[in-house]
Homo-oligomer: A and B are copies of this chain.
Amino acid sequence: MSSGNSFHAVKTEEELSLYIPQEGLVQLRNPHINGMDEDVLYHIALSNKSNNLTEMFQDVKFVCFGGSPTRMHKFAEYLVEELKIKIPAGLTVTNIAHGSDRYVLYKVGPVISVSHGMGIPSLSIIFHEILKLIHHAGCSDVIFFRLGTSGGLGLEPGSVVITEESVDGLLRPYMELSTLGMILQHPSKLDQDVARDLVSLANSEEDGYVTIIGKTMCTLDFYEGQARLDGAFCDYNEADKMAYLSRVHKRGIRNIEMESLCFAAYCYRAGIRGAVVCVTLLDRLKGDQITTPHDIMEEWQSRPQKLVAAYIKRKLNI
């Protein structure tokens, strides 16, 4: 199934002209923003009037999104080491979005590490505000990553999946968004070059785990939406579940999570190169519950971070 051919949507001519990767300055697909006196980025407690966003963020070249605030803090600290960032004595990395408790946002050299919470709506809000942030800051040639966790399909737990294409629970390669009384479909295409560059940096033998490119299913729910039997509601049985997951697996789906469809759709709309890198915490063809000990899980969750850090180092010639 090719994402290009299977996608049918009613688009305006203007919309069709938008989907071209940007070179240079980050542009917004919204003519209203530049006419505004002030733009309050409400959920990260920043504004283009109260903060000098250019001074703070103009050098940003990479934005790394991840669900958990703790993990994105750890990633910021890891990047300080990996990118050999010199922090003056007495200082430390701090949450720039501390004026709100919705997300955390760190900056380490040319990298933003930001949490997105769980699910498409939560990612959608922070994506809008980060895109406006780097636009106001005058950033150029920025690459976005989502570093996440997921359920695997037919993979050893701890394996890493780089998303080739994101689809919804019915295998549709677009995100539907109800907008002013219409349901608009936004194609969820991802940059294949970044995915290939990422997988070339992995070495399954040295790493001790596999890193592959595969399709990712993105759902609006963790339990029924992912065919789990262990939610508070369930009106299907083990055979129904396995039939569905096996069919999905045969179509090339290698993992299931809850944000990639929006991440991919918004990167594509914005003309931003983007990649989704998720570790699998369990094999959903074998179970539903996540019972792996905490320390092993911690090591697994660092795997997407290591890969993306390696990519950033390569790009920065470090």
Inter-chain contact B29/A233, CB cutoff 8 Å: yes
Residues of B within 8 A of A222 (CB): 43, 121, 124-125, 128
Residues of B within 8 A of A220 (CB): 120-121, 124, 177-178, 220
Chain A, 251-272, CB within 8 A of any chain B CB: 258, 266, 269-270
Q: Residues of A within 8 Å of B, CB-based: how many? A: 71
Residue from the list B32, B181, B244, B269 in contact with A169, Cβ < 8 A: B181
Which stretch (A33-41, A81-89, A198-206, A304-312) binds chain B?
A33-41
Chain A, 151-198, CB within 8 A of any chain B CB: 168-170, 177-181, 183
Contact A234/B31 with A122-B117, A128-B223, A220-B120 known, Cβ cut-off 8 Å: yes
Residues of B within 8 A of A177 (CB): 220-221, 224-225
As a 0/1 sequence over residues 16 to 49 of chain A, the CB contacts with chain B under 8 angstroms (1 = contact) are 0000000000001111110010111011000000
Check: A7 CB closer than 8 A to any chain B CB.
no
Interface centre among A68, A119, A179 (most CB of B within 10 A): A179
Give chain B nearest CB distance to A191 CB in angstroms.
Answer: 18
Inter-chain contact A120/B118, CB cutoff 8 Å: no
Give chain B nearest CB distance to A308 CB in angstroms.
Answer: 20
Residues of B within 8 A of A30 (CB): 229-234
Give chain B nearest CB distance to A309 CB in angstroms.
Answer: 21
Which stretch (A56-64, A105-113, A235-243) binds chain B?
A235-243
Give chain B nearest CB distance to A16 CB in angstroms.
Answer: 12
CB-nearest residue of chain B to A221 = B124
Contact A28/B232 with A170-B181, A178-B220, A180-B227 known, Cβ cut-off 8 Å: yes
Give chain B nearest CB distance to A244 CB in angstroms.
Answer: 4
Tell me the bound Cα distance from A43 to B29 in angstroms.
36
Contact A39/B230 with A128-B222, A235-B29 known, Cβ cut-off 8 Å: yes
CB-nearest residue of chain B to A103 = B118
Residues of B within 8 A of A180 (CB): 227, 236, 240-241, 244
Residues of B within 8 A of A232 (CB): 28-30, 33, 127-129, 131-132, 135, 266, 270
What are some 27 contacts across the A-B interface (CB < 8 A)? A29-B235, A38-B289, A39-B289, A42-B290, A43-B222, A68-B102, A69-B101, A118-B121, A118-B122, A121-B221, A124-B225, A128-B223, A128-B231, A132-B231, A169-B179, A170-B181, A170-B183, A177-B220, A177-B225, A178-B219, A180-B236, A180-B240, A180-B241, A180-B244, A181-B247, A232-B266, A233-B269
